[in-house]
A = this chain, B = another copy of it.
Amino acid sequence: MSEPRKLEVLRAIVEDYVHSREPVGSKALVERHHLGVSSATIRNDMAVLEEEGLIAAPHTSAGRIPTDKGYRLFVDRISQVKPLSAAERRAIHSLLEGPDDVDDILERTVRLLSQLTNQVAVVQYPHSNRALVRHVEFVLLAPQQVLVVLIADTGSVGQKVIEAGSAVGDEALMQLRSRFLGSITGTQLALLPQVLPSVVALCPPELRGLAQTLANGLQALSDTSREERILMAGTANLARSNVDFPLSIGPVLEALEEQVVMLRLLSDMGDDPRGVTVSIGRENPYDGLAEASVVATGYGSGAKVGILGPTRMDYPTTMAAVRAVARYLSRILGG
């Protein structure tokens, strides 16, 4: 039996199954695809594929469906990226055009991606370690409460309310403001932990306590500014795509709500923006996603975009969409 044909059969099975949602049998296969052989031959091939764990039969006399391993092989070696339709390209172009907020852009990106793929789309806030401090602001909210604001040159704004142990004087705050402004404007967020202590040390002793508190706040902000946050859209697609197919959607929703889980998941994936990474079914570290696949890639400097859907999904198209969107994101937000 020829190796190329075997792969061809697997490809046909995956494609038909993704399309019809029903186990596909040997006869249907020869009818729909013009492989030049008879159903009996296909049956032999299928027996081999099954032995290799690439496909499985739900019960004795039904067709075969791909296993996780089968999808894996399909994704790795067989599928070829489908080009996006002109309409899709246009959608990406126009939707991501308004030169707005980072938040805005991400929001629209995730919406677009979910519509494009009919899956749940997920995007991680861009890493801004390389971002530079553009501005620092301390605002007295209450006698013992200070709002610390950290603005990066990327336009991302971090904020945090901190409690000072004792009443804070307005002049003291102003003085510290200019000190911090002078010494950390222009430094990388990532370097703040190293720079801040010296700023504090240079403060006059009576201000040092407050300075330390503020520095802590700033440092916390620079951590948070690495934006361990994700945005998602299209959860309703989960229900739709499973209308007569029982992927238990509960666990998936749970996973989606746990930002920690999603972040972990995304960061476990490759971030080469040229290719996308796919994690299929039980390959996923999280049990609730045993029947789901994640297609993701990196953009900008290491943050991720991707989608989550049932293992039975149209990988080529989905991968193309994810890749295209990631590219646009990189371009817009600056890679």
Cα distance A278–B141 in the bound complex, in angstroms: 36
How far is the CB of A180 from the nearest CB of chain B, in Å?
A: 14
CB interface residues, A 141-159, toward B, < 8 Å: 141, 145, 147, 149, 151, 153-155, 157, 159
Q: How far is the CA of A136 from the CA of B233 in the complex (A)?
A: 32
User: Is A234's CB within 8 Å of the partner chain B?
Assistant: yes
Within 8 A of B (CB), among A244-267: 248-251, 253-254, 256-257
How many monomers of this protein are in the complex?
2
Option from B139, B147, B250 in Cβ contact (under 8 Å) with A236: B250
If A134-B139, A161-B100, A161-B155 touch, does A253 touch B233 (CB 8 Å cutoff)?
no
Interface digits, A64-84 against B, CB 8 Å rule (1 contact, 0 not)?
A: 000000000000000000000
Chain B residues within an 8 Å CB radius of A149: 137, 149, 151, 157
Query: CB distance A139 to B135 under 8 Å?
Result: yes
- How far is B243's CA from A153's CA once the two chains are assembled, in angstroms? 48
CA distance A317 to B181 in the complex (A): 52
Contacts of A14 in B (CB 8 A): none
Partner of A240 from the list B239, B250, B257 (CB cut-off 8 Å) is B250
Q: Which residue of B lies closest to A134 (CB)?
A: B139
Q: Decide if A88 is an interface residue (CB 8 Å cutoff).
A: no
29 example contacts (A-B, Cβ-Cβ < 8 A) are as follows A99-B145, A99-B163, A100-B161, A101-B159, A101-B161, A134-B147, A135-B139, A137-B149, A139-B151, A141-B154, A147-B151, A147-B155, A147-B157, A149-B149, A149-B157, A155-B161, A157-B157, A233-B257, A235-B235, A235-B253, A235-B256, A235-B257, A236-B251, A236-B253, A236-B257, A239-B249, A239-B250, A243-B250, A249-B249
